[in-house]
Chain A
């Protein structure tokens, strides 16, 4: 639609230009004076604006024979040159469609500024995001260092600790601030791998496996050491070695234990075969030694078989109702002769009211034999052994007490372990396979009872075991 321009010829006609616009419903009026544009007005925006002022603000620019189409462009140029307060904005066809003033331009400058501001904000946001990403990445690395189960330590060239992670604090049982700044105390060089003693806070010593590589700390050459706590592994290895040692000692002991009776058996047999024993009394003496030693071998072989059964899980108990009092008494009786040889008295403290229980009589007897033979064996000559039985709650408690040589404290832990024999020739030479207490424990535990020992070196020992009184289904005995 062609816009209707009202040509104004003088300042006096500005007011009428408005009127013309109102009349013709035109949007714009171009203010002209002597053929020159003095301004462009639009009725909508400039109604009420003092036209005198408008004219004043307009740059007076000779237009010559300007076309309507070029009008807006020209007006803009004038405006940009800072000589006018108004800008005529044309549409794509060059037709003026609006007018603007300097304030609007400033607005647009603000808009530009705002746009710049928005870009700045966007840039700042991006920067922040990048920083956050960096922080996250840093945190991840810190996390890796801090969560590492290995101690990570930076030691400078002077051997001073400069950084430790949490694992180091745990390993050395010291806080970071107690470690940093201190001497590491162990020579560190690049590409080294070594085992080191870890001195913990209480003075306890563990073992660490350390590897070191070169690194940089605050711009200087330093060493990055990782310390892996291998104390537990060492302990396990040590236990394994101890078990191995016990096993080979056991084999050596078994060999010794088999050879000793065999020595007597073969020796005396040989003497008699060679007619070196003419005296019938002496023959009898030697035959009875051979008989005894044969029995000793038999017992040892039984123990070995029991152990073999335990190892293969074929060890079973057959429970039946029995009088524990009788089992104890019979076992004690069988020790009278051995005890009298050592001038040792065996006292029985068994109440007649002791109830019957469900148990494997032979196995319980085996335990009693083991405990009594230990008690007599380790009693001093002229000593005494007491066997006590009593009801203790829902259990039967049996205790064998001696006043013998006692058991060293360090041995108490291992007493019921397989192959264990208290160190020292004195005890070992007293005979035994290192299996008796181990087998006893298996027997008692298979009954649902417990077995334990209390002892004081030089004062004697108390071996106790319990057997449950009320077995399920044990209602009557025939």
Chain B
């Protein structure tokens, strides 16, 4: 299997990390470094899954996610948000915008791989245990 994954992140190091990690697992990886580029590639390159950062120049990750969900071609695409925004609020907004899963940076590469695999295995959003995060990953909001 040769699934294609689109990684959208403005931090070149984070891009490189996820790209390398996923390629090691045999995925084809394409990258985008801002929201608009991400949306275009999601449309044109037909990825099987998107790994999405939130703090992006121009359109942020939430907006990208929302827009992807509005379109027929990308409406059901699995989206994994990986962000350094670590408050419960941030995660809640991400899921409300349509993300299937949310990981907080720093995220263990093997954890990213595991989540990607789960999402690609066709696990529907309803069956995903959203509470199953690494301990202490999510900061409580409003501090």
Please tell me if the beta carbons of A267 and B106 are within 8 angstroms of each other in the complex: yes
Query: In the complex, which residue of chain A has the Cβ closest to the Cβ of B11?
Result: A260
Question: B108's contact among A248, A255, A266, A430, by CB below 8 Å, is which?
Answer: A266
Interface residues of B in 74-124 (CB under 8 A from A): 84-87, 104-110
Please tell me if the beta carbons of B16 and A289 are within 8 angstroms of each other in the complex: yes
Stretch at the interface among A22-30, A108-116, A129-137, A269-277: A269-277
Stretch at the interface among A299-307, A320-328, A421-429, A464-472: A421-429
- Tell me, yes or no, whether B143 is within 8 Å of chain A by CB: yes
Please tell me if the beta carbons of A264 and B20 are within 8 angstroms of each other in the complex: no
Question: A255's contact among B10, B14, B139, by CB below 8 Å, is which?
Answer: B139
Give A260 to B107 CA distance when docked, in angstroms. 10
Query: In the complex, which residue of chain B has the Cβ closest to the Cβ of A256?
Result: B84
Chain A facing B: main interface SS: helix
Query: In the complex, which residue of chain A has the Cβ closest to the Cβ of B18?
Result: A267
- Tell me, yes or no, whether B40 is within 8 Å of chain A by CB: no
Please tell me if the beta carbons of B143 and A425 are within 8 angstroms of each other in the complex: no
Please tell me if the beta carbons of B24 and A276 are within 8 angstroms of each other in the complex: yes
Question: A289's contact among B10, B13, B85, by CB below 8 Å, is which?
Answer: B13
Give A428 to B110 CA distance when docked, in angstroms. 28
Please tell me if the beta carbons of A263 and B14 are within 8 angstroms of each other in the complex: yes
Please tell me if the beta carbons of A270 and B57 are within 8 angstroms of each other in the complex: no
Most buried by B among A259, A268, A276, A282: A259
Give A282 to B21 CA distance when docked, in angstroms. 12
Interface size class of A (residues with CB under 8 A): 20 to 34
Nearest Cβ in chain B — how far from A425, in angstroms?
4
Nearest Cβ in chain B — how far from A450, in angstroms?
32
Give A478 to B86 CA distance when docked, in angstroms. 54
Give A260 to B60 CA distance when docked, in angstroms. 16
Please tell me if the beta carbons of A263 and B107 are within 8 angstroms of each other in the complex: yes
- Tell me, yes or no, whether B17 is within 8 Å of chain A by CB: yes
Please tell me if the beta carbons of A263 and B105 are within 8 angstroms of each other in the complex: yes
- Tell me, yes or no, whether B30 is within 8 Å of chain A by CB: no
Give A289 to B13 CA distance when docked, in angstroms. 7
Please tell me if the beta carbons of A429 and B55 are within 8 angstroms of each other in the complex: yes
Please tell me if the beta carbons of B17 and A263 are within 8 angstroms of each other in the complex: yes
Binding site for B on A (CB under 8 A): 248, 251-252, 255-257, 259-268, 270-271, 274, 276-277, 282, 289, 292-293, 425-426, 428-430
10 residue pairs, one from A and one from B, having the closest CB atoms: A259-B84, A263-B105, A264-B13, A426-B57, A263-B106, A267-B17, A429-B55, A425-B60, A256-B84, A266-B106
